[in-house]
C-alpha cells in the first residue's frame, strides 16, 4: 500500500533514495524492487530492524534483481547525511508528529540533490479535524499525531525550505471511514466488531483491481492523505 507515486517521482534504477521515517518500510520495498539504493531511516530501532529483515529476505529470494540498501536509525530533525546526497526522498506521514516541521523540511532539502525530487505526505486537514472532534484521544495518544496541516500552509513551508511543488495528489479514500469508525466506537477498543469488520473488508479490497479503481474516486471525495511532490532548485542532475 504505497502513498507516494514512484512515476511522479521519476525514480530510476541506481538512484539513491531516503525513506525518512520509514516505519514498516512499505516504500522501501518498492524502491528496492525498482533497483534503487535504499536508505530506510526511522527513530525506532525496532522498526528499522523489521525493514532490514524483510530486505534481506527479498535480496535472498531474488539475487539477480533488486537494488542495494543500508539501514540506520536517526532523527529527521538532524539527519546524518552530507549535503546533496540523495536523488529522491520520501517522507510519508511524519510531519504531523512534530511541531518542528520547518526544521525537518530544511534538513530534507539540505540532503536532496539539486533538481532532486521529494514526496511529502500528511493526513488531510478535513479527516484530522473530524477525528479530533469525534475522539478526545486522537491527538493525545503517546507517539501519535499532534497537529493538522492546511494544504496552503504546508505548500508555503515547502517553498520556504527551498522546494518547488510540481504536483499534489490524494490517496487512501477507503482508509478515512476506518478511522472514522475507530473514533466513533472508541480508539482504545481495537476489537470492536464494526471497525474490525471494515478493516477486514479494507484489506480484501487491496487485492481487488475493481476496488482499487473504485478507491481512486474516494481519493477525491474523502482522502486520508495528501501528497506534495516537489523538486529542489539548482543545477541539473
| Percent of the chain at pLDDT exceeding 70 | 96
- Mean pLDDT for 17-45 is 91
Do 9 and 229 touch, CB atoms closer than 8 A? yes
- Segment 94-145, tens digit of pLDDT: 999 999 999 999 999 999 999 999 999 999 999 999 999 999 999 998 888 9
Per-residue pLDDT at 232? 96
Do 79 and 103 touch, CB atoms closer than 8 A? no
Do 105 and 161 touch, CB atoms closer than 8 A? yes
Per-residue pLDDT at 50? 83
Do 119 and 226 touch, CB atoms closer than 8 A? no
Q: How far is CA 8 from the centre of its chain?
A: 14
Per-residue pLDDT at 237? 46
Q: Confidence class of residue 61 from pLDDT cuts 50, 70 and 90?
A: low
Domains in the chain and their CATH numbers? Answer: 6-173+223-232 (3.40.50.150)
Q: How far apart are CA 200 and CA 141, in angstroms?
A: 24
In this predicted structure, the answer to whether residue 60 has a pLDDT above a threshold of 90 is no
Amino acid at each position: 500500500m504505497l502513498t507516494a507515486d514512484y512515476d511522479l517521482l521519476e525514480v530510476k534504477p541506481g538512484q539513491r533514495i531516503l525513506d525518512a521515517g520509514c516505519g514498516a518500510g512499505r516504500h522501501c520495498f518498492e524502491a528496492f524492487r525498482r533497483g534503487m539504493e535504499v536508505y530506510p531511516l526511522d527513530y525506532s530501532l525496532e522498526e528499522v530492524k523489521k525493514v532490514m529483515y524483510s530486505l534481506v529476505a527479498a535480496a535472498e529470494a531474488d539475487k539477480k534483481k533488486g537494488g542495494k540498501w543500508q539501514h540506520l536509525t536517526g532523527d529527521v530533525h538532524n539527519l546524518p547525511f552530507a549535503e546533496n546526497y540523495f536523488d529522491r526522498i520520501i517522507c510519508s506521514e511524519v510531519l504531523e508528529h512534530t511541531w518542528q516541521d520547518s526544521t525537518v523540511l530544511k534538513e530534507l532539502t539540505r540532503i536532496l540533490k539539486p533538481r532532486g525530487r521529494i514526496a511529502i505526505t500528511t493526513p488531510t486537514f478535513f479527516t484530522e479535524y473530524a477525528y479530533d472532534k469525534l475522539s478526545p484521544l486522537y491527538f493525545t495518544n503517546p507517539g501519535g499525531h499532534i497537529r493538522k496541516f492546511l494544504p496552503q500552509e504546508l505548500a508555503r513551508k515547502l517553498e520556504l525550505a527551498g522546494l518547488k511543488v510540481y504536483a499534489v495528489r490524494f490517496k487512501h479514500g477507503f482508509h478515512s471511514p476506518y478511522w472514522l469508525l475507530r473514533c466513533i466506537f472508541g480508539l482504545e477498543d481495537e476489537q470492536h466488531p464494526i471497525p474490525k469488520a471494515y478493516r477486514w473488508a479494507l484489506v480484501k479490497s487491496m487485492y481487488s483491481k475493481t476496488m482499487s479503481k473504485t478507491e481512486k474516486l474516494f481519493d477525491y471525495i474523502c482522502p486520508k492523505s495528501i501528497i506534495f511532490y516537489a523538486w529542489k532548485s539548482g543545477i541539473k542532475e
